[in-house]
Structure 1
Amino acid sequence: MKNTYLYIFCFSLLSLGSCSLDTEPITQTDTNFYKTTDDAYSALVGCYDGMQVATGAAGKGVPVVSEIMSDDCFGGTGNSDKYDYAAIDEFDIARAPSEVDMYNDNWVAYYKALYRCNVFLSKMDQIDWKGDMTLKDNYISETRFIRAYLYFEMVRLWGNIPLLTAPSTDNIPQANPDDVYKVIAEDLVFAANNLPSVAYNATTSGRVTKWAAKSLLGRVYLYYTGYYGKSDLVGVVTKAQALQHLEDVIAGSGHGLVDDFSTLWPAASVDKYAGENNKEFVFSIKYTYTSDYNGNTDGNHWLVMFGMREFSSYPYGRGWGVTVNSKLWNAYTANDTRRVSTVIGINEEKIPFDKINNQREYTGYYNKKYTPMVDKDGKDLPLTMGSQFWDISQFQDYVVLRYADVLLMAAELGSGNAQSYFDDVRRRAYKTAFTSIPVNYDNIMNERHLEFALEGVRYWDLLRQGIGKASSTIAETTTLLNGGVQATKTISSVNIQKTKGLQQIPNTQITLSNGVLKQNAGW
């Protein structure tokens, strides 16, 4: 297959914006590129850029989708909008039967980013490294981490995907997920073993580190062994090895918990914000405010989905209204400081929200961790920074891994310091109201829910506990306000089980593959 959306060809690797999609066979050669260390750096920037676009600027933002699929958010959006987010929320294409390509832009962006990584990895030996093999190993490690991260996001979302570890135009079928996880595991082990042991404050913000690779290995191990019911990570990483990687982060990374949970999130702390480079953030995907409609896609395009529907109230900015389930607010006790740092409560904060008639699935709650913001004059922050486009130029970074996650993963994997790690996370949350409770699996999973709510983690934590646990937790019938009118909302556990928690393969990709790609069950 030559003309396909599966495999993307891009030569403007240095550009911080995405390159255009090219569905024609490539004839230009790259013999004059990939020669010098400057070329190598440009190619590496292209790989980071591909990851940034795939995560932040293409299609339906996976951090948003991950929350909509969970029990913490509803699809929401405008009362007159189409029902694509409802279809995702309810695992039911019948809610939006014409939406057969909900994730096509995501699919294209992910494979574009993978293509960049695979090309760069294939050219490493033709670059003149001037004897600096450490630099070469670092660039290989960063690129393989990016590839692993992309594949992990894809295989969790779709389950069945084509696996490419070299540039190709072949029309290949979907791989066994084990084969994908083997590449993920080997890429992350390589990065963990080859990146330097440098404390976080001596690294470049947004760059992959040894600690990021080790932390992501822990997450991949827990998800894979949980969802697929296996005892190790495809024979590459054992439980003991996964734990040791996390213990290495705790012992040697220099990362730690910030003192005040609220300062992790700009809208929750405003003037007290700890910043995007604080010691708790192990790995983040970086964004800035320069997006436009001429190819610059450096902004966080998905953040706007979490904003209050068409309404601003300092410091919270307007958005498209993905709503938070009131059950999340009620899951926190009154003395848990994470509640008011995680969720915007319309009534609780006396916000004069007057767009209920425009909002579908109104609950009175929105995401505070990831929300657009305005200044004291009510002006959207991207506009105050000089952007012309408030919606696509949101610039809050996406925090992929926090140190609190490292502590709780290590506790879950049976660290000898499990109780101490568990207590550290809870002590910060409850402050003077802290009391110790036993560290056990149920308590750890509950703590993960409260700690990482609305960060794109909860759904995957449910799914790795088994499709039965996930479906029974997410399913509900409740009454919400659609355009100010009460309506019944039903999420069926049967639908979640039919899909095995996976999402729709884009119909365009199935068509372009001449049926080689197969749709996931339930879609």
Structure 2
Amino acid sequence: MRQIKILILLFVGVSISSCSDFLSPEPLSAITADSYFKNDSEILTGVINMYDGIQGLNSTRSTDNHGIQQEFQVTEMRSDNTRTKSGEGESAQFDAFNVDPTNGIVADYYRSYYNVVYRANIVLNNLGSASDAMKPSFEAEAKFVRAYAYFNLVRLFGDIPLIDKVIDPLEKEIQFTRVNEDLVYDLIVSDLITAVDGLGAGTYGRASKSAAQALLAKVYLTLGEHSLAKQLCLDVMGAGFTLESNFKDIFYNEGNDEVIWAIVYDGDNATDSQNFSAEWLNSVGRTVGLNYVTTEAAAALDLLGGSRTKYSYRLDEIQISQNQVAKYIPNGDANLGIEPTSGDPTLAGNDWIIMRYADVLLMYVEATMGTATETSDASALIAFNKIRARADMPLASSITKQELLDERRAELAFENQRWFDLIRFGAANEVYTKFSADNGYGYSPTDLLLPIPQGEIGLSAGLLTQNPGY
């Protein structure tokens, strides 16, 4: 089942160049939020518009909201999984751990996700116009989206401004004052608890109770609340999701029973397609190749991937010394039995999976292990070995923390998980120090956070501070 077609609402002010743009005076002749949201059907368009913000625009304009379409650069390409092909340009700053505060990709991601927060706050601000029947679900869905946006922002930038309502142009301190990340996590947890309580089965392209439970479980793991995460994982494990028998089908049989939540794209559609998967290929996207697989990741997949490996990376068809991500190929691959998702790869229809059942199974193992370095718990072994069996890998009789981290790398490679996994497992400094030394990069511990965009600091007139090391 496809997601409801994404709507772009004129009153939201989608094209933004900074967090302050959406605070600009409203045009007197246009539809505004104050005059528009008067009933359930109109509030629903605001709900759908939140997902449009995450989906982002398939464009090259620097002022557009690109949502999730550039997330691979601030996650995978900063990790030991992927890099640029050429080692040139702004993207190469992520390869070498030398990201500049003026990096346009970082600024794009920051403002795009604050725009998602704004869209969620618009819905929450207008719940008074909702019917009694729909108000709880609208609130739950908006808080789920807001929590998701803040979870990404706080993990990438650390202490950040916390905007939990629609604000006006004079409220500069709210917009530009960084708060302790503990306060951000407090809002995330509160929002997701509301989402869990208020959501139902949903569809894979929209928030659901299981998606909220899975996301909250990952938040609790990040906070070290293992027992709370374990129960949430158990709830999702009892909700009817299953592993696809063929690993390829996760990514090319869209809407399958393993997908808990995905951002849906429609191929050959200028507004609802994506271009990131084309950028990962040589001479197909607009660049010469991004998100190319590192030697280290290829070696890990060759050793640990089993039957997953050929659907995780492949040789560059033009330059066979290079390796490309194979999970989201937009123009098809006859050798892998993959069909194109559009007539034009830069208008790709490959959905982006944010949460799937295999991730929940591995989170259950992580929650069961807790602060220990190994587990032989029977239920954890069952969950772990389901994934190993699908990959045609030997079954485990015990699981160490390192083996779990390795399994997550093999199973979830190139799905924007590796960066966060290494930090959550406390392994980032060790891994990146060695990776940097082996490749002549410049990693230091301050690189675990991105810089606050310099443009935002300039707009704040001194209120917004920079992260250490930048």
Q: Number of aligned pairs?
A: 431
- C-alpha displacement of 1:123: 1.3
State the distance in 2 between where 1:301 and 1:194 align: 34
The DSSP-based 3-state class of the residue aligned with 2:172 is coil
State the distance in 2 between where 1:98 and 1:328 align: 28
Q: Does structure 2 conserve the Cα–Cα contact (< 8 Å) formed by 1:57 and 1:302?
A: no
- C-alpha displacement of 1:13: 5.4
Distance 1:75 1:520, change over 3 A: farther
Structure 1 residue 471 corresponds to structure 2 residue 458: no
Query: Which residue does 1:65 correspond to in 2?
Result: 74
1:22-37 equivalent positions in 2, closer than 5 A: 22=21, 24-26=24-26, 30-37=33-40
The DSSP-based 3-state class of the residue aligned with 1:413 is helix
State the distance in 2 between where 1:402 and 1:50 align: 21
State the distance in 1 between where 2:284 and 2:54 align: 31
Gaps of at least 5 residues in structure 2 are: 1-6, 59-64, 369-376
Q: 1:282 aligns with which of 260, 266, 276?
A: 260
Q: 2:391 aligns with which of 418, 423, 429?
A: 429
Query: Which residue does 2:4 correspond to in 1?
Result: none
State the distance in 2 between where 1:519 and 1:60 align: 25
The DSSP-based 3-state class of the residue aligned with 1:282 is strand
State the distance in 2 between where 1:319 and 1:283 align: 31
Distance 1:261 1:59, change over 3 A: closer
Q: Does structure 2 conserve the Cα–Cα contact (< 8 Å) formed by 1:412 and 1:444?
A: yes
Letter in 1 for 2:196: A
Q: Does structure 2 conserve the Cα–Cα contact (< 8 Å) formed by 1:212 and 1:282?
A: yes
Q: 2:293 aligns with which of 306, 324, 327?
A: 324
Q: Does structure 2 conserve the Cα–Cα contact (< 8 Å) formed by 1:303 and 1:371?
A: yes
Structure 1 runs (4+) greater than 6 angstroms displaced:
15-18
Structure 1 residue 310 corresponds to structure 2 residue 276: no
Distance 1:474 1:370, change over 3 A: farther
Distance 1:58 1:209, change over 3 A: closer
Structure 1 residue 398 corresponds to structure 2 residue 352: yes
- C-alpha displacement of 1:223: 2.3
Q: 1:511 aligns with which of 442, 449, 458?
A: 458
TM-score normalised over the length of structure 1: 0.76
State the distance in 2 between where 1:284 and 1:218 align: 17
Letter in 2 for 1:343: Y
Distance 1:15 1:300, change over 3 A: farther
Per-residue CA distance 1:128-163 (angstroms, 9 max, x = gap): x1x42xx22111111111101111111111112211
Distance 1:343 1:469, change over 3 A: same
Q: 2:97 aligns with which of 87, 91, 96?
A: 91
Letter in 1 for 2:46: A
Gaps of at least 5 residues in structure 1 are: 1-11, 226-231, 233-238, 267-274, 357-362, 479-489
Distance 1:325 1:16, change over 3 A: farther
TM-score normalised over the length of structure 2: 0.84
Percent same amino acid at aligned positions?
27
Q: Does structure 2 conserve the Cα–Cα contact (< 8 Å) formed by 1:57 and 1:299?
A: no
Structure 1 residue 420 corresponds to structure 2 residue 382: yes
Query: Which residue does 2:240 correspond to in 1?
Result: 254
Query: Which residue does 1:366 correspond to in 2?
Result: 324
Distance 1:13 1:318, change over 3 A: closer
Q: Structure 1 or 2: larger helix share?
A: 2
The DSSP-based 3-state class of the residue aligned with 2:36 is coil
Q: 2:313 aligns with which of 304, 323, 343?
A: 343
- C-alpha displacement of 1:63: 2.6
- C-alpha displacement of 1:318: 9.1
Distance 1:498 1:43, change over 3 A: closer
- C-alpha displacement of 1:17: 10
Distance 1:409 1:374, change over 3 A: closer
Q: Does structure 2 conserve the Cα–Cα contact (< 8 Å) formed by 1:13 and 1:46?
A: yes
Query: Which residue does 2:61 correspond to in 1?
Result: none
Q: 1:20 aligns with which of 4, 15, 19?
A: 15
- C-alpha displacement of 1:114: 1.1
Letter in 1 for 2:309: R
Per-residue CA distance 1:77-113 (angstroms, 9 max, x = gap): x46x52x1221222214xxx69444422222222222
State the distance in 2 between where 1:304 and 1:224 align: 35
State the distance in 2 between where 1:301 and 1:158 align: 25
Q: Does structure 2 conserve the Cα–Cα contact (< 8 Å) formed by 1:70 and 1:474?
A: no
The DSSP-based 3-state class of the residue aligned with 1:417 is helix
Structure 1 residue 333 corresponds to structure 2 residue 307: no
Q: Does structure 2 conserve the Cα–Cα contact (< 8 Å) formed by 1:475 and 1:491?
A: yes
> Superposition RMSD on alpha carbons, in Å?
2.9
Structure 1 residue 110 corresponds to structure 2 residue 113: yes
Query: Which residue does 1:210 correspond to in 2?
Result: 209
1:154-173 equivalent positions in 2, closer than 5 A: 154-168=153-167, 169=169, 170-172=171-173, 173=177
Q: Does structure 2 conserve the Cα–Cα contact (< 8 Å) formed by 1:16 and 1:49?
A: no
Query: Which residue does 1:498 correspond to in 2?
Result: 446
State the distance in 2 between where 1:261 and 1:62 align: 23
Structure 1 residue 407 corresponds to structure 2 residue 361: yes
1:166-245 equivalent positions in 2, closer than 5 A: 166-168=165-167, 169=169, 170-172=171-173, 173-196=177-200, 198=201, 203-225=202-224, 232=225, 239-245=226-232
Per-residue CA distance 1:448-507 (angstroms, 9 max, x = gap): 1111111111111111223433433542424xxxxxxxxxxx123xx33133x1112111
Distance 1:98 1:71, change over 3 A: closer
State the distance in 2 between where 1:496 and 1:418 align: 35
